[in-house]
Amino acid sequence: MSKSPEFPTILLVTGWATAASIAALLAMTNGRAPEPAPIVIAQVTTPPAESAAEPAPAAPPAASPPLGLGRPALPEEIAAWDMTILPDGTGLPEGSGDVLTGEEVFAENCASCHGEFAEGLDSWPVLAGGNGSLTDPRPVKTIGSYWPYLSTVYDYVHRSMPFGQAQTLTVDDTYAITAFLLYSNGLVDDDFILTHENFTTVALPNAEGFYPDDRAQTEYPRFSAEPCMTDCRTTPPEVTKRAIDLNVTPKDADGKPAGTLPALEFAASTDAGEAAPTEAPATTEAPAATEAPAEEPADPGIDHALVEAGEKVFRKCASCHKVGEDAKNGVGPALNGIVGQSIAAVEDFKYSKPLADLGAAGGVWDAAALHAFLENPKGFANGTKMAFAGLKKPEERDAVIAYLSTFTDD
């Protein structure tokens, strides 16, 4: 800050000028001409030359009267902005919403980012699936796998969504979207209606996976004590192992620690008086020809181009259905061996009643049944949990069926 003796005067003039501008603005808004605001200039005495470097501080100006702006907020005004919803239901507004309405509202307001059935698009987060993945190196944290309380879902949707149009959803729309997200995670049936009365009866799977942060009591004291700076060791330090021995050093393709310079073979230097190496004489013997391993004949029954296309289309299904080694049930059943399998036959998966009835009647996932189901899941089995709108292009359905046929349930 400047130590010029004129600085306090400049500061006071600026402050009072600002106050005068505010007073003039208030007067104009009341429909009358503004009265000139007084300008007070503090008298500053220039100190002697020998003490000019350290001027005496100027006396602070007298406290100005309150400007009289605003008024205390009314209780109803505070309530309009208090949207917090607590886990015990405190703050929930009256209302309700069902799964099918939620599917429509979600498709209109949320699917552009989160996908038609909450599978997530591009960098936008997935909202369904991830069951049992929290211990994986890259867990899938969704409403069904990670979030502890349903109140957080409702509060976040009502307060912040849709992106760029926050708080445009009605109370009933928010209940409906929350019900649809529960359904997308396999937590409720498709006829479920969420209301302010049954809201607290819904428990999310990871409700017990959180615990209070007690580090302030259990850990902080250990790091706030006076550190010991003497007599730390009785013997000199000794290197017992190196990082490469502990297998914590990254390695290059040649097996050496990452970043190791390759062995450099220099040509003989004339300065050192060494002769340059001569090329090895060419041998007249041709190297023994090695037989190329015979390639396994391609399976003539598999259209590999179609399977590759099916793998890409299947990405629309991968957030709910798994295939391949160690595939497990998630929001939807694992699909290993699904082609030609009886309907609703995957173990340890709770099917919706329509599919269970089809399976009990002897239904089989042959090509015709898979085509019909993939084109319109709800049309094939009215009331199915599957919220996917379907694959409308026949070539996409052919590709997915070809891809699924490559996975067995062995």
The model's pLDDT over 252-283, given as tens digits with 9 standing for 90+, comes to 777 777 766 665 554 444 444 444 444 444 44
Pairwise CA distance, residues 370 & 153, whole Å = 34
Pairwise CA distance, residues 294 & 252, whole Å = 31
- pLDDT category, 74, cuts 50, 70, 90? very high
pLDDT at 264: 52
pLDDT at 301: 66
Spatial neighbors of 408 by CB under 8 A, at least 6 apart, are 336, 337
The first and second tokens of residue 129, run together, are 């699936």
Q: What is the CATH number of domain 304-404?
A: 1.10.760.10
Read off the pLDDT of each residue in 64-77 and give the average, rounded to a whole number: 87
- pLDDT category, 246, cuts 50, 70, 90? confident
Asked if residue 7 has pLDDT above 60, the reply is: no
**CATH superfamily label, 79-201:** Cytochrome c-like domain (1.10.760.10)
**93 touches 104 (CB < 8 A):** no
Whole-number average pLDDT of the chain: 78
Asked if residue 317 has pLDDT above 60, the reply is: yes
The first and second tokens of residue 349, run together, are 């998966």
Which of 6 and 250 is assigned the larger pLDDT? Answer: 250
Read off the pLDDT of each residue in 57-82 and give the average, rounded to a whole number: 81
Range with lowest mean pLDDT among 5-14, 284-293, 391-400: 5-14
Helices vs. strands in the chain: H and E counts, helices first: 13, 2
pLDDT at 34: 46
pLDDT at 355: 87
Pairwise CA distance, residues 23 & 17, whole Å = 10
**What is the Rg, in whole angstroms, of the alpha carbon atoms belonging to the chain?**
37
- At 83-123, the pLDDT tens digits run 899 999 999 999 999 999 999 999 999 998 998 889 888 88
- pLDDT category, 60, cuts 50, 70, 90? low
Pairwise CA distance, residues 196 & 38, whole Å = 59
Asked if residue 297 has pLDDT above 90, the reply is: no
Q: How far is CA 332 from the centre of its chain?
A: 21
Helix (H, G, I), strand (E, B) or coil at 209: coil
Which of 57 and 321 is assigned the larger pLDDT? Answer: 321
Longest Cα–Cα distance of the chain, Å, equals 112
What predicted TM-score, i.e. pTM, was given to this entire model? 0.47
- pLDDT category, 39, cuts 50, 70, 90? very low
Range with lowest mean pLDDT among 4-18, 95-109, 148-162, 196-210: 4-18
Report the DSSP pairing between strands 193-195 and 96-98. antiparallel
pLDDT at 42: 42
| Residue 355, φ and ψ in degrees, nearest 5 | -70, -40
Pairwise CA distance, residues 102 & 114, whole Å = 14
Residue span(s) of the chain under CATH 1.10.760.10 come to 79-201, 304-404
Helix (H, G, I), strand (E, B) or coil at 244: coil
pLDDT at 68: 84
